[in-house]
Structure 1
Amino acid sequence: MRIARQNWWTAGFLAPSVGLIGIFVLIPIALTVWLSLHRWSTATPFGDAEWVGLDNFDALFGSDLVGRDFRQALRNTFVYAGVSIALLIPLSILFGTIVHRAAVRGTTLLRTVLFATYTVPMIAVAIVWSKLYSPTEGPINQALGWFGISPQPWLSDTSSALISLVFLNVWQQLGYFTVLVVAGLTQIPPSVYEAAALDGARNVKLLFRITLPLLRRTLLFCVVIALINAIQVFEPVATITQGGPVGATNVLTYHIREVGIERSQGGLASAMAVTLLLALVVVVTLVFALMRKGDDR
């Protein structure tokens, strides 16, 4: 009787949260999947949606303009996410190790400065970095001029525009992941390093034999969160480049907004969103599988 009463109390406390998740997460996902199977204009009611089955998905992977634009946006999204993670994780480990060392002077100030970037809204970061990248008055090009390097078209060149946005993302996210790495480092007993030092291990061996293996779960969390954040990128593209030049920064979230709202093709945009969700699930599952495989060794 007592256990049943406790279960009722537990269910009662969880009910509001579960209800909010259902209203704001599960129902929108189900509605998006339903719309992806229909031809629907965002200017009309749901009741006017016309069943088309998998035609929207066929269009995404077809050879016409719709398919080419979608595949370019999907490719840009995963290039953006991959390069961001490739820069964020090593830099987070580097700065996290520096901050964790109590002997470093100004550690508190460094930790504050690093994390402060994460608290700044992305829209404000995008506006500031658009000024930094200015080809004529931007501080970056002015600094390059001191070394005799001509001004670079950071955001107007198809070969550099997406990478320029990656640098913006890394700068904004680095402090958050550094704090996560520091939290993981504090869980490693100092005695482990002391024992390894007695065996003759030095900095490089300590990093690859002790630090990284014991940080595996923290780094897994960092990779997953960094991947989700990167795939959801929208504000820098909408504020600075609007998907240009020539679609070089047209990531999928911005493309979904353009197709669904500006072109009023709600069914096609929903199919893009479902495809992005499935791709994200597959990638995250692979990351967890690789991490689990590493734990089994």
Structure 2
Amino acid sequence: MTTDVHTGTPAAPGRTRRPAPARPSERRWAAIFLSPAMLVIGIFMVVPILLTVWISLHEWSMFTSLGDMTWRGLDNYAGLWSDAGFRNSLRNTVLYVLLVVVLTIPLSVLLGLLLYFPTMRGKAAIRTALFATYVVPTVAIAMVWGALYAPTYGPFDQILGAVGITGIGWLSSPDTALISLVVFHVWQMIGYYTVLVVAGLTQIPGELYEAARVDGAGFWRQTTSLTLPMLGRTMTFVVLIAVVNAIQVFDPIYILTQGGPAGSTEVLSFTIQRTAFEYGLAGQASAMAFSLFLLMVAVGAALMVAMRRRR
């Protein structure tokens, strides 16, 4: 039996006691302590977003002053759909995100299961090695992978040549360039997602596995009927992070392909950078950036709704 801390009377059995509302002094102190963080968020996040929206409604070159902006309303947004370059970058972005998610999620779950359940030595070292690919700067890793993908003298082409296969133009062919970047992305991020999966596995009570073993369930049945359903919320978060990271990809494309060959790797983030800083079309670039922001918000909202329905 529980006791109400405010009245000292026993709480009704079977009823969950609601937490007491915060007193005015507690709310005031909470506001004081949160105000610095909210101020930083407002300055470095909200203000840039609002400024981007404002610029997206104007015609403005970054090589001129802000006073030279010309009002266009929603014309910049309407012009995006008639822009073949934007449609191409949007198509490449969607394809890139789908490939990353399709490859990353099953691999991270598989590696998470292999690193969590078997009783073997060195699991911590393997986790550290996997996670190291995430913490190393992307620029450094991209330069290394550029050498691996190099035609003729690159290790990948040399391995293929040793078995009698003609070298593949990994980054120089429109058919393989985007897939090559996806492989690089998966290799770099898989350790991070595996660590998240392992963290989710630690939240599953061991008593459930004991009960399943008593009922005669083997490893496969435990995985499909217990582990994967209990990982639902964790996997929703992993999918969300994977999608956001894939949509925001920029460094490898800027270093390795510059959007080529023939625009096959030109994704939205790279198109925004090129439109703004190379062509000076800040209004159109801001419209692309805000559209990309809305796309990420929509994806995040859809995944959050899916997670709520699984509860």
In structure 2, the partner of 1:8 is 28
Residue in 1 aligned with 2:9? none
Report the Cα distance in structure 2 between the residues aligned to 1:194 and 1:233, rounded to whole angstroms.
43
Q: Residue 98 of structure 1 contacts residue 104 of structure 1 at CA under 8 Å; is this kept in 2?
A: no
CA separation in 2, counterparts of 1:29 and 1:108? 41
- How many Å separate the matches in 2 of 1:27 and 1:146? 56
In structure 1, what is the Cα distance between the partners aligned to 2:124 and 2:306? 35
2:267 aligns with: 251
- 1:239 corresponds to which of 255, 276, 280: 255
Instruction: For residue 102 of structure 1, report the CA deviation from its aligned partner.
Output: 4.9
Please give the alpha-carbon distance, in whole angstroms, between the structure 2 residues aligned to 1:46 and 1:208: 58
1:107-129 CA-to-partner distances (Å, cap 9, x unmatched) read: 12211111111110111111111
Matching residue of 1:61: 81
- TM-score (norm. length: structure 2): 0.90
Give the TM-score, by structure 1 length: 0.94
**Aligned AA (1:58):** A
Instruction: Tell me the CA shift for residue 154 of structure 1.
Output: 0.5
Q: How does 1:178-257 map to 2 (within 5 A)?
A: 178-257=194-273
Amino acid aligned to 2:46: L
Q: Residues 46-97 of structure 1: CA distance to partner in whole angstroms, max 9, x if unpaired?
A: 22111011111111111xxxx1100111111121111111111111111111
1:228-247 Cα deviation digits (max 9, x unpaired)? 11111000000000000000
Q: Return the letter of the residue paired with 2:178.
A: L
Q: Find the counterpart in structure 1 of residue 166 from structure 2.
A: 150
Aligned residue among 23, 33, 49 for 2:69: 49
> Where does residue 285 of structure 1 map in the other structure?
301
1:95 matched to 2:115? The reply is no
SS at 2:23 equivalent: helix
User: 1:96 is matched by which residue type in structure 2?
Assistant: G
Tell me which structure has the larger Cα radius of gyration.
Answer: 2
Which amino acid counterpart does residue 42 of structure 1 have in structure 2? M
CA distance in 2, matches of 1:294, 1:9: 36
Write the letter of the residue equivalent to 1:28: P
Residues 243-265 of structure 1: CA deviation (Å, up to 9, x unaligned): 00000000111100100111000
Is the CA contact 1:38–1:52 (under 8 Å) kept in the aligned structure 2?
yes
In structure 1, give the amino acid aligned to 2:231: L
Separation of aligned partners in 2, 1:84 and 1:259: 25
Q: Tell me which amino acid in the other structure corresponds to 2:298.
A: V
Q: Which runs of 5+ in 1 are unaligned?
A: none
Q: Which stretch has the larger CA shift, 281-290 or 269-278? A: 281-290
Matched AA of 2:278: E
The reply to whether residue 78 of structure 1 matches residue 99 of structure 2 is no
- Residue by residue over 1:194-228, the C-alpha shift from the partner in whole angstroms, topping out at 9 and shown as x without a partner, is 21122232222211111111011111111111111
Greater helix percent: which structure? 1
CA RMSD of aligned residues (A): 1.3
User: What residue in structure 2 maps to residue 122 of structure 1?
Assistant: 138
Matched length: 290
Report the alpha carbon displacement of residue 8 of structure 1 after superposing the two structures with TM: 2.1
The question of 1:34 aligning with 2:68 is answered no
Provide, for residues 137-182 of structure 1, a one-character-per-residue CA deviation record: whole Å limited to 9, x for no partner.
Answer: 1111111222221110010111110110011111111111111111
- Mapped to 2, the partners of 1:94 and 1:69 lie a distance apart of 38
C-alpha contact 1:87 1:170 (8 A) present in aligned 2: yes
CA distance in 2, matches of 1:12, 1:191: 43
Task: Find the counterpart in structure 1 of residue 10 from structure 2.
Answer: none
Moved over 4 A (4+): none
List alignment gaps of at least 5 residues for structure 2. 1-21
